[in-house]
Amino acid sequence: MFLSGNNVCYLNILFIIEHLVVPNILVKVNYLGLNEEKNCVINMRLLPAIGSLRRLPSVCSWCRNSHTDIHTSFSPDSVTKDKYNGITVDLNISHSLTSEEFRTILSDSIQKWRNQGRSAIWIKVPILQSHLIPEAANQGFEFHHAEHHHSLLKLWLQEDKEDLTPRFATHQVGVSGLVIREDTGQVLAIQDQNSQFNLWKFPGGLSNLEEDIGDTAVREVFEETGIKSEFLSMLALRQQHKQPGAFGRSDIFIVCRLRPLTFDIRPCSREIKACQWMDIAEVQKRSGFSAFMRKVTGMAMYGIQHGFQDLDIKYEEMESVYKGLRYKLYHRPVPSDTQTR
């Protein structure tokens, strides 16, 4: 196939092939598209060599909009608008696109949404369509986050304004269970199997997605020590920046007061090197305890002696502004408040 001209449209060539039976001649077609004249030329002797439409590398705007076999936009059900004037495109919902189709559609869409005054574009890319990511990156997109089987790309459209899109998770949440035996003045303490510090600590770990804080404390205590317990309150919260192993996130670590329901220790051999009921007074005197653990066990000692009413941070379950949802509001109890647990 012999072509000439700076702008060649292969679909126009196929139109000529389909409608003109003129062998062994050179055909030239002129049309107006994108406000300029373009030319399509074909040597008709090479008609048998023309391949399928999907293999053709160049398609003009007029033909893209008129030929049903070529995708010219993201499917409507894959595009949603958010309350912040942004656009989200879910490629898991959209029809399957070649890299060439995606590049062209994305370029057109960016221009359209920028002209509409949209704030940002988000593209959810399934892992099996990751080959499209370089095409988006070449048009200014960057990673926002990736999780499980998809990544989320972002492009801020308002170049004359500060980028207001939020970062992905800025913190991770860990929860520790302070299991107190008030009758004996003891707390449950462990040593991690792989800790570099070899210090005693309270059992605990990271909260799961959509897991309540108290549920995390109860679960972690049982998984690490075999002790069943009941959540009573939050006692303290620690915020740590530059936390090692937190993937660059800050760390929020919450201490919960738990009541033991069982007492026989069955530690997890994979995670725990040592586990025992330990006298609170011993924690205050011996080495091998962090300042954090000393502070919290001091709170436990005060609670045993004077009651926990001045220490406990309780929760109140409330109805959310979002229909059908509820949440837990943690706060120090007001003396007349009977709703706080």
What amino acid positions are annotated as catalytic residues?
A: 223
Give the integer Cα–Cα distance in Å for 164 and 74. Answer: 25
Give the integer Cα–Cα distance in Å for 201 and 177. Answer: 10
Let me know how long the chain is: 341
Residues whose CB is less than 8 angstroms from the CB of residue 35 and which lie 6 or more positions away in sequence, other chains included: none
Is 157:119 a contact under the CB 8 Å cutoff? yes
CA triplet 256, 167, 128: central angle to 5 degrees?
105
Q: What is the dihedral of CA 192, 193, 197, 198, to 10 degrees?
A: 80
Is 296:255 a contact under the CB 8 Å cutoff? yes
Report residue 85 as tokens.
Answer: 């004037």
- Residue 229 β-bridge partners: 260
Q: Which run of H or of E encompasses 248?
A: none
Question: What is the radius of gyration, based on Cα positions, of the chain?
Answer: 32
Give the integer Cα–Cα distance in Å for 333 and 315. Answer: 8
The CB density around residue 147, as the number of other CB atoms within 10 Å, is 9
